[in-house]
């Protein structure tokens, strides 16, 4: 063992060496702290990341009606502050005796993508980068293998001969894999069958996105941008209120419309009437009639055991 140096112990008398060492040490400490500060400099650009109210906000299902009121007010103020429009934000609850089901007529769909854009406009999706909940696949006749589908078709006219079109969006599964995997219960299935997300609770781990067999979930990789004049002010907490950077979103059957008795935006805009929607618990509804009378209807990837509430059917 080498002879120990007497420089580092406080009992030792101060020597020239200690002075120089302590000077070097404080210089090093100063340089280190400056480097740390410099490396954290980008954080100065961090704006409205999370207000303390939002940071401390409780889980959706634990909010009392009064607390919910405050939350809705905070969201209203935030939206007004950001877009200059005072929105009408509501916390719409599922209706009793209602279970929503969607059916899409593959014989009729012409692949015009009007549903895609109506959805973006209705649900206040980010325009830059653009987030879309509906993906239309251009499929060659005779195949249901999605790998043969073309996602990025750019034809001047649709429909193209020899192809059919298959729009895919959240299938609102009865057995949703996304809900099972969420580590913080930020997404769940409501009584009316809609799987919703609490955008204020999601931690952005994207496990649900990996779990979804339908590629229905979208992540806000950056701060969503919506032009103020395009903002839809009719909003719901679990629906189309503007999202923040770093959280998930997806189709919620236009909760802000369907829970007050309207049709989803994608259905209303469809020029060929390929989209049908309604309450499966009501035997008189159109959707019940379709599922009762059509000879062939399918659930996408039925073998996944997810049991979608979204059906595809054929006319002939």
CB nearer to other proteins: pick between 61 and 161: 61
What 3-state class would DSSP assign to 91?
Answer: coil
In angstroms, give the least distance from the CB of 57 to other proteins. 10
Phi, psi angle pair for 277, to nearest 5° = -150, 145
In angstroms, give the least distance from the CB of 147 to other proteins. 4
Q: What distance in Å separates the CA atoms of residue 312 and residue 316, rounded to the nearest whole number? A: 13
CB nearer to other proteins: pick between 153 and 263: 153
Q: What distance in Å separates the CA atoms of residue 300 and residue 84, rounded to the nearest whole number? A: 42
CB nearer to other proteins: pick between 66 and 147: 147
In angstroms, give the least distance from the CB of 211 to other proteins. 5
Residue 247 CB partners (closer than 8 Å, separation 6+): 197, 199, 202, 204, 219, 220
Structure tokens at 212: 């979804």
CB nearer to other proteins: pick between 163 and 214: 214
Q: What distance in Å separates the CA atoms of residue 68 and residue 74, rounded to the nearest whole number? A: 10
In angstroms, give the least distance from the CB of 32 to other proteins. 7
Q: What distance in Å separates the CA atoms of residue 217 and residue 63, rounded to the nearest whole number? A: 25
CB nearer to other proteins: pick between 117 and 244: 244
Q: What distance in Å separates the CA atoms of residue 146 and residue 155, rounded to the nearest whole number? A: 19
In angstroms, give the least distance from the CB of 189 to other proteins. 13
In angstroms, give the least distance from the CB of 182 to other proteins. 6
In angstroms, give the least distance from the CB of 73 to other proteins. 21
Measuring CA to CA, which residue among 285, 283, 284, 263 is closest to residue 275?
263
CB nearer to other proteins: pick between 98 and 109: 109
Evaluate whether 217 touches 248 at the Cβ level (below 8 Å).
Answer: yes
Q: What distance in Å separates the CA atoms of residue 236 and residue 209, rounded to the nearest whole number? A: 22
CB nearer to other proteins: pick between 77 and 209: 209
Residue 39 CB partners (closer than 8 Å, separation 6+): none
């Amino acid at each position: 063992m080498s002879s120990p140096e007497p420089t580092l112990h406080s009992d030792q008398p101060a020597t020239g060496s200690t002075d120089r060492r302590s000077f070097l040490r404080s210089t090093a400490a100063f340089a280190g702290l400056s480097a740390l500060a410099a490396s954290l400099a980008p954080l100065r650009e961090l704006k409205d990341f999370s207000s303390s109210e939002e940071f401390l906000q409780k889980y959706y299902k634990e909010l009392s009606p009064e607390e919910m009121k405050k939350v809705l007010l905070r969201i209203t103020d935030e939206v007004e502050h950001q877009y200059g429009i005072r929105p009408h934000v509501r916390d719409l609850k599922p209706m009793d005796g209602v279970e929503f089901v969607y059916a899409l007529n593959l014989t009729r769909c012409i692949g015009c993508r009007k549903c895609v854009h109506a959805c973006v406009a209705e649900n206040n999706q980010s325009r830059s980068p653009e987030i879309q909940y509906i993906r239309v696949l251009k499929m060659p006749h005779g195949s249901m293998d999605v790998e043969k589908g073309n996602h990025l078709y750019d034809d001047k006219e649709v429909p193209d001969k020899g192809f059919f079109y298959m729009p895919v969006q959240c299938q609102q599964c009865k057995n949703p894999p996304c809900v099972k995997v969420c580590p913080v219960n930020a997404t769940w299935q409501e009584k009316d069958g809609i799987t919703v997300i609490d955008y204020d609770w999601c931690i952005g781990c994207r496990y649900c996105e990996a779990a979804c067999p339908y590629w229905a979930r979208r992540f806000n990789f950056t701060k969503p941008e919506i032009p103020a004049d395009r903002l839809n002010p009719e909003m719901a907490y679990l629906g189309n209120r503007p999202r923040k950077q770093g959280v998930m979103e997806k189709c919620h059957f236009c909760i802000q419309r369907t829970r007050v008795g309207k049709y989803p935006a994608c259905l209303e805009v469809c020029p060929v009437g390929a989209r049908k929607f309604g309450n499966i618990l009501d035997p008189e509804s159109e959707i019940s009639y379709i599922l009762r009378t059509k000879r062939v209807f399918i659930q996408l990837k039925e073998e996944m055991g997810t049991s979608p509430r979204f059906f595809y059917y054929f006319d002939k």
